[in-house]
Amino acid sequence: MLKAISAAVVLTVIITGCTAVEPPKNTAADTGQEEKLESLRKQRDAVVKFFEPMRVRPGDWLDTQREQGETFEEYISANPTLPIDDRWTIYIQPIGRFNSEQLAVIDKVAEYMRAFYSLPVRLNSAKPLGEVPFDKKRLIKYRNNLQINTSYFLDDLLPKLLPNDAAALIAFTNYDLYPEPTRAFVFGQASLTKRTGVWSFYQFADPKTGRYDPKLMLERSLKIAMHETGHMFSMKHCTKYECLMSGTNHLAETDRRPLDNCPECMAASRHMVSRSSMVASRS
Ligand SMILES: [Zn+2]
Ligand SMILES: [Zn+2]
């Protein structure tokens, strides 16, 4: 049975499409919006020559998945989910029990998000996993490893915990995750529209010793948390450059990725941050 499970590791986004999507309130109607967008386009175009195109290696995400990528213009036309006047706090919700090293990493991730997005970031107290339906968990017997389907977080647990003023709610957990029955596991997953996401520490440990390298754990956590948060602000996977928003199939690929965005994704994230600053200044 395990042979049927793809060895591919996915850092991905899947839209379940099973619930109504709240229409984002932000539009291009704000004063000066078009000038800001034009300025971001110019900044993008000016730095493009400094970036190498994505090189796909055997076993990488794009070696196994077909994806279109997304330009800045496509991102804007898709009317992304962004912070709005009454919804502009990012919440971090730890789920499970954590050791002091993991808690310190979560603290650092919260600090980084706060600095990057110019938004309030609230780190909640840890909550237990709760009762997971039998069809949303599985036991990998040879590792004695309980895995939780990400849809339990994205569709069941997090929507109930989503505060009204949340720009996004991301759960951190140390339970191992899987996105669908054919996948071996996943580092994290988020919705482009529902403002919810989840990621796990589980796969960061050395498979032989079960120990975490503190530096790698922080780097991987920052990359995956920021990648999933990008998804929660409607950013799709990047295919043009080696970029924070590129999908990854394995930890070596994750480790190769920068914590920064490429020119296209940088323009998208700057647009998001400028919205954040505008919203925050009104409060
Ligand atoms: Zn992704
Ligand atoms: Zn990119």
Q: What does the alpha-carbon distance between residue 51 and residue 282 come to, in Å, rounded to a whole number?
A: 36
Per DSSP, the three-state class of 274 is helix
- Cβ pair 177, 188 in contact under 8 A: yes
pLDDT of residue 280: 67
Ligand in nearest proximity to the CA of 236:
1
Ligand nearest to the CA of 188: 1
Q: Around ion ligand 2, which residues have CB less than 5 A away?
A: 238, 243, 245, 262, 265
State residue 9's pLDDT score. 35
> What does the alpha-carbon distance between residue 26 and residue 28 come to, in Å, rounded to a whole number?
7
Domains in the chain: ranges and CATH: 2-13+31-278 (3.40.390.10)
Q: Which ligand neighbours the alpha carbon of 232 most closely? A: 1
Burial 111-121 (b: 16+ CB within 10 A, else e): ebbeebbbbbb
Q: How far apart are CA 179 and CA 88, in angstroms?
A: 28
> Residue 196 C-alpha to ligand 2 middle, in angstroms?
21
**Whole-number pLDDT of residue 109:** 97
**Which structure tokens are listed for 30?**
């704000």
pLDDT for position 210: 79
Task: Find the ligand nearest to 228 CA.
Answer: 1
| Distance (Å, whole) CA 189 – CA 229 | 9
User: In angstroms, what is the span from residue 4 Cα to ligand 1's centroid?
Assistant: 23
- Name the pTM for this structure: 0.86
Question: Which ligand is nearest the CA of 245, by number?
Answer: 2
In order along its 283 residues, the chain shows pLDDT tens digits of: 333 334 333 444 333 222 223 334 555 455 588 899 999 999 999 999 999 899 999 999 999 989 999 999 999 999 999 998 889 999 999 999 999 999 999 999 999 999 999 899 999 999 999 999 999 999 987 777 899 999 999 999 999 999 999 999 999 999 999 999 999 899 999 999 999 999 999 999 887 887 889 999 999 999 999 999 999 999 999 999 999 999 999 999 999 999 999 999 999 999 988 877 776 676 6
* pLDDT at 85 (0 to 100): 85
Give the Å distance between the CA of 93 and the centre of ligand 1. 19
Q: How far is the CA of 42 from the centre of ligand 1 (A)?
A: 27
* CA 4 to ligand 2 centroid distance, Å: 32
Burial track 191-205 (b if 16+ CB lie within 10 A, e otherwise): bbbbbbbbbbbbbbe
Report how far residue 183's alpha carbon sits from residue 198's, in angstroms, rounded to the nearest whole number.
16
